[in-house]
Structure 1
Amino acid sequence: MHNINKLIILSSPLEQFEIIPLLPIELFGLNISVTNASLFLVLSVLLSIFWSSLVIFKNRLVPGNWQSIKEMFYDASLLLVKDNLGTKGYAYFPFIFTIFSIVLYCNLIGMVPYSFTVTSHIAFTFGLALSIYIGINIIGFKTHGINFFTIFLPKGVPLFIVPLVVAIEFVSYIVKVFTISIRLFANMTSGHTLLKIIAGFVWTMISIGGIFLYLQIIPLILLLALVGLEIGIAFLQAYVFTLLTCIYLNDVLEMH
């Protein structure tokens, strides 16, 4: 019974989200250790830079397969900027494209067995969303000055309900940083957890043997279908995260 319980604990679907220190480092009382999360984040950034550099280095008039995929990502980001920000958003395109690329690579690398999904941790998604949110507000202040605060007070509001409207607008404005981060974190965590549960179920049926050795084809097919779905979700969540960033940026520029 002890061995069975130990096996269950080791095969927990949440085990894949554990942050493990790879290189313990402490500086001035601060823990700045290199973990699996930071390692795969750096790997995602380097892979994105490497692919972009490779495409530019072997740029062709008639693009090859890899260049076509990269141009597809580029066009998707550019379309987001055009549709949500207009021509004024071209100045922010490098910022938007970088966000899309990093989130996408973090999502996709997490699909590789024995890797780590950085975007499955609320600490990362919230930190990323908060830094973007702070940057967007700095842009708003730089563009509109003190008039930026009028974003909390829509035009035509009766004077007697101004305090209530301002409070509601302020709360809804602050909540944006939570919604954009929780959406990405929740989707990636739930998807990877489900994959681990189904994979564990398949492995259990194979271990039992007998008739279960043939019945495991059913959850195996389901697992393959879920892998394809999760890859699609990885692209979709990167797109949605970038889309919401564009919408929030447009809000501070246009003062809707």
Structure 2
Amino acid sequence: MAAEAGKVDPMHQFSIEPLFGTDNWQIAGYHIPFTNSALWMTISAVALLIFVAGGLKRQLVPGRWQMAVETFTGFVDGMLAANIGPNGKKYVPYIFSLFMFILFANFFGLLPLGVVGVHAFTFTSHFSATGVLSVMAFAIVLIVGFAKHKLHFFSLFVPHGTPLIMIPLIFCIELVSFLVRPFSLGLRLFVAMMAGHVLLEVLSGFVINGINAGVGIGPVVSLLSFILMVAICALELLVAAIQAYVFALLTSLYLNDAENLH
């Protein structure tokens, strides 16, 4: 029975559960309850607003909070300047918000709140969330591209110097590659965050079952699994930051295509 109680379902942590509003909140006949995923999205958005608000103090000698906001803003500004050029400055608010929102979401999902009975939910481990973020970025790229270049935007799919006979084939290949971008953008973040959390949950199962096994090799397995968990937690913090950066970086590269048709 002890071993049975020690079983861990690694996928349970990704379950979206309604918190309230199940019966009364409807749009066009569909229930729209406020879920744990929506709760942690709200928490991440509020954290972003508080973070930015704390950096709006124009002090002559900036404090740590203002310095942190200015550092991240300068980081995003430099990334856009390197990838888009002078025209990238107008995208700083959007890319900064996107980067910090994903960063907060990833970090909040790693908080060890289980020790106080609260389950931290990583909504970036769901493609429904990362997919929406990537579709939004893709929509902005299309709007910017067609607004600035009109139908000449389609020249993006025909690289300069392409032989005339190869244009139809190259156009189709480039178009498909372009249309796959929002899928790959959202999938990359979703897979990275989900894989890390599944691995941590599996290792926690090893720790629990090793302890329940009693004297013998069980405690050894538990100790080794726990040490590995600590190392992977540190790695997950790095992955959380890298994935937020990669999402923002790729979005800026796609905006560069819309701006400069490279």
TM-score in terms of structure 1 length: 0.91
Alignment partner of 1:249 is 2:255: yes
Distance, in Å, in 2 between the alignment partners of 1:210 and 1:6 is 18
Report the secondary structure of 2:240's partner residue. Answer: helix
Shift of 1:127: 1.1
Query: Given residue 14 of structure 1, which amino acid in structure 2 is its aligned partner?
Result: M
User: How many Å apart are 1:74 and its aligned residue?
Assistant: 2.1
Q: Name 2:125's counterpart in structure 1.
A: 120
Q: 1:149: which partner in 2?
A: 154
1:183-222 to 2 correspondences below 5 Å: 183-211=188-216, 212-213=218-219, 216-222=222-228
Aligned length: 252
Cα distance change, pair 158–214 in 1 and its aligned pair in 2 (3 A) = closer
The equivalent residue for 2:18 is 21
**1:1-256 superposed matches below 5 A:** 8=7, 11-23=8-20, 24=22, 25-57=25-57, 59=59, 61-64=61-64, 66-113=65-112, 114-211=119-216, 212-213=218-219, 216-256=222-262
Shift of 1:150: 1.3
> Structure 1 pair 5/186, CA: closer, same or farther in 2 (3 Å)?
same
Gap change, CA 1:210 and 1:91, over 3 Å in 2: same
Q: What is the root-mean-square deviation of aligned Cα atoms in Å?
A: 2.0
For the residue of structure 1 that corresponds to 2:189, the secondary structure is helix
Distance 1:62 1:222 in 2: 40
Which stretches in structure 1 are left out of the alignment for 5+ residues? none
**AA paired with 1:101?**
M
Displacement, 1:219?
Answer: 1.6
The one-letter amino acid paired with 1:33 is: P
Question: Following the alignment from structure 2 to structure 1, what is the Cα–Cα distance between the partners of residues 259 and 145?
Answer: 6
Aligned-partner Cα distance in 2 for 1:75–1:208: 53
One-letter amino acid matched to 1:71: E
- 1:59-78 Cα deviation digits (max 9, x unpaired): 561432x4444333223212
Unaligned runs of 5+ in 2: 113-118
Which amino acid counterpart does residue 39 of structure 1 have in structure 2?
L
TM-score computed with the length of structure 2 as normaliser? 0.89
Q: Please give the per-residue CA displacement for 1:33-57, whole angstroms capped at 9, x wherever unaligned.
A: 1111111001100011112212334
| Deviation for aligned residue 1:131 | 1.3
Question: Aligned partners of 1:104, 1:230: CA distance in 2, in Å?
Answer: 12
